[in-house]
Amino acid sequence: MQNKWYQLASWRSQDDTNGSLAPATPPESSHESNRTSACPVGNDFPASGGELMAFEEVYRSAGIKSPRLGYSISKVIEMLHSEHIRNLPTETKRASLLMALEAAGVQVDEVLQDATLRQRAINSYEAIQRKHLDEYEARKAQDNCTIQAEMERVAAEYAARISCNLDEVAREKDGFRKWQVRKQHEAQSIADAVALCVTPSNAKTAADPMSAFRELAATGDPAYVHRG
Protein backbone atom coordinates (compact mmCIF):
# COMPACT_ATOMS: atom_id res chain seq x y z
CA MET A 1 0.00 0.00 0.00
CA GLN A 2 0.97 3.62 -0.31
CA ASN A 3 2.83 5.60 2.31
CA LYS A 4 0.64 6.35 5.31
CA TRP A 5 1.03 10.11 4.92
CA TYR A 6 -0.27 9.83 1.39
CA GLN A 7 -3.17 7.74 2.61
CA LEU A 8 -3.98 10.24 5.29
CA ALA A 9 -3.77 13.20 2.93
CA SER A 10 -6.12 11.54 0.44
CA TRP A 11 -8.51 10.58 3.21
CA ARG A 12 -8.59 14.05 4.76
CA SER A 13 -9.01 15.64 1.32
CA GLN A 14 -12.04 13.47 0.61
CA ASP A 15 -13.63 14.17 3.98
CA ASP A 16 -12.99 17.92 3.79
CA THR A 17 -14.70 17.92 0.40
CA ASN A 18 -17.70 16.06 1.78
CA GLY A 19 -17.77 18.23 4.87
CA SER A 20 -18.32 15.23 7.03
CA LEU A 21 -15.47 15.75 9.47
CA ALA A 22 -13.97 18.73 11.19
CA PRO A 23 -10.48 19.97 10.19
CA ALA A 24 -7.66 18.22 11.98
CA THR A 25 -3.99 18.71 12.62
CA PRO A 26 -1.47 16.16 11.28
CA PRO A 27 -1.21 12.99 13.34
CA GLU A 28 1.16 13.04 16.29
CA SER A 29 2.92 9.89 15.20
CA SER A 30 3.08 7.47 12.34
CA HIS A 31 3.88 3.80 12.82
CA GLU A 32 6.23 2.81 10.07
CA SER A 33 5.80 -0.76 8.98
CA ASN A 34 8.30 -3.36 10.05
CA ARG A 35 7.12 -5.68 7.34
CA THR A 36 8.92 -5.98 4.04
CA SER A 37 7.76 -7.46 0.80
CA ALA A 38 8.37 -11.16 0.39
CA CYS A 39 8.77 -10.63 -3.34
CA PRO A 40 12.16 -9.84 -4.84
CA VAL A 41 12.81 -6.18 -5.59
CA GLY A 42 13.55 -5.27 -9.18
CA ASN A 43 10.41 -3.86 -10.73
CA ASP A 44 9.03 -0.36 -10.93
CA PHE A 45 6.22 -0.98 -8.49
CA PRO A 46 6.54 -0.03 -4.81
CA ALA A 47 6.77 -2.94 -2.39
CA SER A 48 3.77 -3.67 -0.24
CA GLY A 49 4.10 -3.18 3.48
CA GLY A 50 1.95 -0.22 4.58
CA GLU A 51 0.75 -0.81 8.13
CA LEU A 52 -2.87 0.13 8.75
CA MET A 53 -3.55 2.77 11.35
CA ALA A 54 -4.95 1.87 14.74
CA PHE A 55 -8.47 3.09 15.46
CA GLU A 56 -7.34 5.69 17.96
CA GLU A 57 -4.88 7.05 15.41
CA VAL A 58 -7.65 7.20 12.82
CA TYR A 59 -9.86 9.15 15.22
CA ARG A 60 -7.02 11.46 16.16
CA SER A 61 -6.10 12.02 12.53
CA ALA A 62 -9.74 12.79 11.74
CA GLY A 63 -9.70 15.54 14.36
CA ILE A 64 -12.12 13.83 16.72
CA LYS A 65 -11.54 15.13 20.23
CA SER A 66 -12.72 13.67 23.48
CA PRO A 67 -16.18 15.00 24.40
CA ARG A 68 -16.87 17.04 27.48
CA LEU A 69 -15.97 15.16 30.66
CA GLY A 70 -14.39 12.44 28.54
CA TYR A 71 -17.60 10.49 27.98
CA SER A 72 -16.94 9.32 24.43
CA ILE A 73 -18.56 6.25 22.92
CA SER A 74 -15.30 4.45 23.78
CA LYS A 75 -15.87 5.33 27.43
CA VAL A 76 -19.38 3.94 27.22
CA ILE A 77 -18.06 0.70 25.68
CA GLU A 78 -15.55 0.48 28.52
CA MET A 79 -18.36 0.93 31.04
CA LEU A 80 -20.44 -1.80 29.39
CA HIS A 81 -17.48 -4.19 29.68
CA SER A 82 -17.22 -3.56 33.38
CA GLU A 83 -17.74 -6.61 35.56
CA HIS A 84 -20.50 -4.71 37.34
CA ILE A 85 -22.62 -4.30 34.21
CA ARG A 86 -21.63 -6.76 31.49
CA ASN A 87 -23.64 -9.70 32.86
CA LEU A 88 -26.83 -7.72 33.53
CA PRO A 89 -29.95 -8.01 31.35
CA THR A 90 -30.14 -5.57 28.44
CA GLU A 91 -32.76 -3.28 30.00
CA THR A 92 -30.85 -3.19 33.26
CA LYS A 93 -27.69 -2.31 31.36
CA ARG A 94 -29.47 0.52 29.58
CA ALA A 95 -30.90 1.90 32.83
CA SER A 96 -27.53 1.71 34.57
CA LEU A 97 -25.78 3.42 31.63
CA LEU A 98 -28.32 6.26 31.39
CA MET A 99 -28.17 6.73 35.13
CA ALA A 100 -24.37 6.99 35.03
CA LEU A 101 -24.48 9.54 32.18
CA GLU A 102 -27.10 11.58 33.96
CA ALA A 103 -25.10 11.53 37.19
CA ALA A 104 -22.03 12.76 35.26
CA GLY A 105 -24.03 15.54 33.63
CA VAL A 106 -23.50 14.14 30.13
CA GLN A 107 -26.19 14.40 27.48
CA VAL A 108 -26.92 11.20 25.51
CA ASP A 109 -26.80 13.25 22.31
CA GLU A 110 -23.15 14.08 22.99
CA VAL A 111 -22.29 10.39 23.15
CA LEU A 112 -24.32 9.62 20.05
CA GLN A 113 -22.64 12.45 18.12
CA ASP A 114 -19.21 11.14 19.13
CA ALA A 115 -20.22 7.64 18.02
CA THR A 116 -21.41 9.01 14.66
CA LEU A 117 -18.13 10.86 14.05
CA ARG A 118 -16.03 7.84 14.93
CA GLN A 119 -18.09 5.49 12.79
CA ARG A 120 -17.88 7.92 9.89
CA ALA A 121 -14.11 8.24 10.38
CA ILE A 122 -13.38 4.51 10.23
CA ASN A 123 -15.76 4.08 7.29
CA SER A 124 -13.96 6.83 5.38
CA TYR A 125 -10.58 5.37 6.24
CA GLU A 126 -11.75 1.93 5.13
CA ALA A 127 -12.92 3.33 1.78
CA ILE A 128 -9.55 4.97 1.15
CA GLN A 129 -7.65 1.83 2.13
CA ARG A 130 -9.84 -0.30 -0.11
CA LYS A 131 -9.15 2.06 -3.01
CA HIS A 132 -5.39 1.88 -2.40
CA LEU A 133 -5.58 -1.90 -2.07
CA ASP A 134 -7.45 -2.19 -5.38
CA GLU A 135 -4.84 0.01 -7.08
CA TYR A 136 -2.03 -1.99 -5.52
CA GLU A 137 -3.62 -5.26 -6.63
CA ALA A 138 -4.05 -3.90 -10.17
CA ARG A 139 -0.38 -2.91 -10.33
CA LYS A 140 0.71 -6.30 -9.06
CA ALA A 141 -1.60 -8.03 -11.54
CA GLN A 142 0.01 -6.04 -14.36
CA ASP A 143 3.42 -6.92 -12.96
CA ASN A 144 2.46 -10.59 -12.93
CA CYS A 145 1.32 -10.36 -16.55
CA THR A 146 4.68 -8.88 -17.49
CA ILE A 147 6.50 -11.63 -15.58
CA GLN A 148 4.31 -14.29 -17.17
CA ALA A 149 5.00 -12.95 -20.66
CA GLU A 150 8.73 -12.86 -19.97
CA MET A 151 8.62 -16.37 -18.53
CA GLU A 152 6.79 -17.67 -21.60
CA ARG A 153 9.27 -15.90 -23.90
CA VAL A 154 12.23 -17.44 -22.09
CA ALA A 155 10.54 -20.86 -21.98
CA ALA A 156 9.89 -20.69 -25.73
CA GLU A 157 13.51 -19.70 -26.34
CA TYR A 158 14.85 -22.62 -24.32
CA ALA A 159 12.34 -25.01 -25.88
CA ALA A 160 13.60 -23.92 -29.31
CA ARG A 161 17.19 -24.54 -28.22
CA ILE A 162 16.28 -27.99 -26.91
CA SER A 163 14.47 -28.80 -30.15
CA CYS A 164 17.48 -27.62 -32.14
CA ASN A 165 19.80 -29.85 -30.10
CA LEU A 166 17.51 -32.85 -30.62
CA ASP A 167 17.41 -32.18 -34.37
CA GLU A 168 21.20 -31.96 -34.52
CA VAL A 169 21.55 -35.26 -32.64
CA ALA A 170 19.00 -36.88 -34.98
CA ARG A 171 20.97 -35.66 -38.03
CA GLU A 172 24.20 -37.00 -36.55
CA LYS A 173 22.61 -40.38 -35.87
CA ASP A 174 21.13 -40.54 -39.36
CA GLY A 175 24.52 -39.69 -40.89
CA PHE A 176 26.21 -42.35 -38.75
CA ARG A 177 23.67 -45.03 -39.76
CA LYS A 178 24.20 -44.21 -43.43
CA TRP A 179 27.96 -44.45 -42.93
CA GLN A 180 27.52 -47.86 -41.27
CA VAL A 181 25.62 -49.12 -44.31
CA ARG A 182 28.42 -47.94 -46.58
CA LYS A 183 30.97 -49.44 -44.19
CA GLN A 184 29.26 -52.84 -44.40
CA HIS A 185 29.43 -52.73 -48.17
CA GLU A 186 33.07 -51.68 -47.99
CA ALA A 187 33.98 -54.40 -45.51
CA GLN A 188 32.20 -57.04 -47.60
CA SER A 189 34.00 -55.90 -50.72
CA ILE A 190 37.30 -56.22 -48.87
CA ALA A 191 36.37 -59.68 -47.61
CA ASP A 192 35.33 -60.82 -51.08
CA ALA A 193 38.55 -59.55 -52.59
CA VAL A 194 40.68 -61.24 -49.92
CA ALA A 195 38.82 -64.51 -50.43
CA LEU A 196 39.67 -64.48 -54.11
CA CYS A 197 43.31 -63.80 -53.32
CA VAL A 198 43.58 -66.96 -51.22
CA THR A 199 44.14 -70.28 -53.04
CA PRO A 200 43.01 -73.57 -51.51
CA SER A 201 46.59 -74.66 -50.97
CA ASN A 202 47.46 -71.44 -49.14
CA ALA A 203 44.42 -71.83 -46.92
CA LYS A 204 45.93 -75.00 -45.41
CA THR A 205 49.10 -73.27 -44.28
CA ALA A 206 49.57 -72.11 -40.71
CA ALA A 207 49.71 -68.51 -41.73
CA ASP A 208 46.22 -68.42 -43.09
CA PRO A 209 45.61 -64.87 -44.44
CA MET A 210 41.86 -65.39 -43.95
CA SER A 211 42.15 -66.13 -40.24
CA ALA A 212 41.80 -62.48 -39.30
CA PHE A 213 38.61 -62.19 -41.27
CA ARG A 214 37.26 -65.40 -39.75
CA GLU A 215 37.87 -63.95 -36.29
CA LEU A 216 35.98 -60.84 -37.25
CA ALA A 217 33.18 -62.97 -38.64
CA ALA A 218 32.97 -64.78 -35.31
CA THR A 219 32.11 -61.48 -33.61
CA GLY A 220 28.78 -61.49 -35.37
CA ASP A 221 29.49 -58.57 -37.66
CA PRO A 222 27.62 -59.55 -40.85
CA ALA A 223 30.04 -57.47 -42.91
CA TYR A 224 32.82 -59.97 -42.26
CA VAL A 225 30.98 -63.23 -42.79
CA HIS A 226 32.62 -65.06 -45.69
CA ARG A 227 30.10 -65.77 -48.35
CA GLY A 228 31.86 -68.65 -50.14
Concatenated DSSP letters of the chain: ---HHHHHHHHHHHHHHHT-S---PPPS---------SSPS-SSSPPP-PPPPPHHHHHHHTTPPPPGGG--HHHHHHHHTSTTTTTS-HHHHHHHHHHHHHHHT--HHHHHHHHHHHHHHHHHHHHHHHHHHHHHHHHHHHHHHHHHHHHHHHHHHHHHHHHHHHHHHHHHHHHHHHHHHHHHHHHHHHHHHHHHH--HHHHTSSS-TTHHHHHHHHTT-GGG----
- Number of domains making up the chain: 1
The verdict on residue 27 lying in a domain is: yes
The verdict on residue 179 lying in a domain is: no
The verdict on residue 43 lying in a domain is: yes
Q: Report which of residues 69 and 81 the model is more confident about.
A: 81
The verdict on residue 205 lying in a domain is: no
The verdict on residue 106 lying in a domain is: yes
Q: Tens digit of pLDDT for each residue in 127-161?
A: 999 999 999 999 999 999 999 999 999 999 999 99
Q: Tens digit of pLDDT for each residue in 19-48?
A: 444 333 333 333 333 333 444 444 332 333
The verdict on residue 219 lying in a domain is: no
Say yes or no to pLDDT of 197 above 80.
yes
Q: Which of 78-82, 117-121, 214-218 has the lowest mean pLDDT?
A: 214-218
Q: Give the pLDDT score at 82.
A: 81
Q: Which domain holds residue 89?
A: 4-130
The verdict on residue 203 lying in a domain is: no
Q: Give the pLDDT score at 19.
A: 42
Q: Please indicate, yes or no, whether the overall pTM of this predicted structure exceeds 0.85.
A: no
The verdict on residue 221 lying in a domain is: no
